[in-house]
Structure 1
């Protein structure tokens, strides 16, 4: 594919999904992954309490092997959480669960995007910490043509495995991009500018996410608390950065 797909020359760029992340990661100084319901929201909630979060691509038997290798607890699917294994991809469950210093959080989309960045820094962005992420990036010189920041909305999957662009991730990415712009990073690609415009165009993010396809799905399954936590705009100052294979808040 041609270099024009890299959105070259722009300091702040926006793309969708693991494939988009893998392509734009070739020309980025920092990658921001946004998976609002629920990977990056869960990461933010976990690191707020001091947990180091190890992303992992697969929720299968290899995840347990990986967790043993890094000496961490393994998060399970929402519906599989128990009293002895209370950690899951549910932000609400993570807020209730007892402290564990290390947690493996399987997520095919979010973890795959994080892995695409290679040696570039990776930040977990969400609606909960969008302003903090934008400030962190700008303070470290990211978001210029010389040191571009790529914001990747994870999206969801259709039954055939293809990418389903998800409103909640568009709004989360747009919130991070809007925060970067407020910090003086105005070299936005048209794609990034449209994501920011989508965020600014929504009067009530909580209402919009609760009524979109992904939000309605979680609410119907009984996880309305997860949607509520994910849409607490700028409730967190935590900026999870992937270091040594795990997300944590830099000291």
Structure 2
């Protein structure tokens, strides 16, 4: 894959599962961004102390998977009942300790990266600054925007994920990070271009408009809460939990899958 690995740079950026596989080699940490709404919902759950089991499929397999782990299974957002991929629904839920969160995009990318032996972190606009602060100085970081899917299954680069990835990169740069690939620099610039009017832009982008039109404007508002969350979700085995230390520091749990 040669030049597409971005291996000459410490801070890299790509799209989707294929892009993630291309840039993960040699990275210390991979940051997955799926703003509307997997990683936004993930941050809401983890900051409330909920262990989140991401799952690739939204079918009977998810039901069995949740039952085996004594976890609540998130329903489809369109069902409008109980806890779902909607961050508003997770914020309103009570008494949940474990949550299975089906997400074909964000979940699949996270597990693919974990299989490559890298520490996997979930980031959104809400916790981009917290993630940047948590990352070790000098770490090699692969930032992956999940994107969406067109009806034919092809990748749709989603601008909200570009902004979310750029928010992580921008926060790292503000902390003194160098060694950005041109791709990472583009993500940074994209975020800085909308930072001052982030809420408005997020509501106006295609994915935001789609959610507003079906009655989930509240989810877009939660997603726009830049730097509102201090939680850093790290994939520990098959579940995301709140980070308690940087990678490589002594911890009571196993960081790598």
1:182 to 2:174 alignment: yes
Paired position in structure 2 for 1:55: 54
Are 1:231 and 2:229 an aligned pair? no
- Give runs of ≥4 in structure 1 deviating > 3 Å: none
Question: Matches of residues 59-138 of structure 1 in structure 2 within 5 Å?
Answer: 59-82=58-81, 86-117=82-113, 118=115, 119-137=117-135
Cα deviation per residue 1:86-113 (whole Å; 9 max; x = unaligned)?
1110000111111311110000000011
Alignment partner of 1:165 out of 145, 151, 157: 157
Partner Cα separation in structure 2 for residue 28 and residue 5 of structure 1: 14
Measured in 1, the distance between the counterparts of 2:80 and 2:242 equals 26
2:200 is the counterpart of 1:207: yes
- Helix, strand or coil for the counterpart of 1:201? helix
Cα separation, 2, equivalents of 1:134 and 1:99: 30
1:192 to 2:184 alignment: yes
Q: Distance in 1 between matches of 2:66 and 2:224?
A: 29
TM-score (norm 2): 0.91
Aligned residues: 241
Whole-angstrom CA distance in 2 between matches of 1:87 and 1:166: 24
Residue of structure 2 equivalent to 1:19:
18
Instruction: In structure 1, list runs of 5 or more residues that go unmatched.
Output: none
CA contact (8 A) 1:171 1:199 kept: yes
CA contact (8 A) 2:130 2:232 kept: yes
- Which residue matches 2:252? none
How high is the TM-score relative to the length of structure 1?
0.93
Structure 2 unaligned spans of 5+:
245-257
TM superposition shift of 1:244:
2.2
- The answer (yes or no) to whether the contact 1:21–1:113 under 8 Å persists in 2 is yes
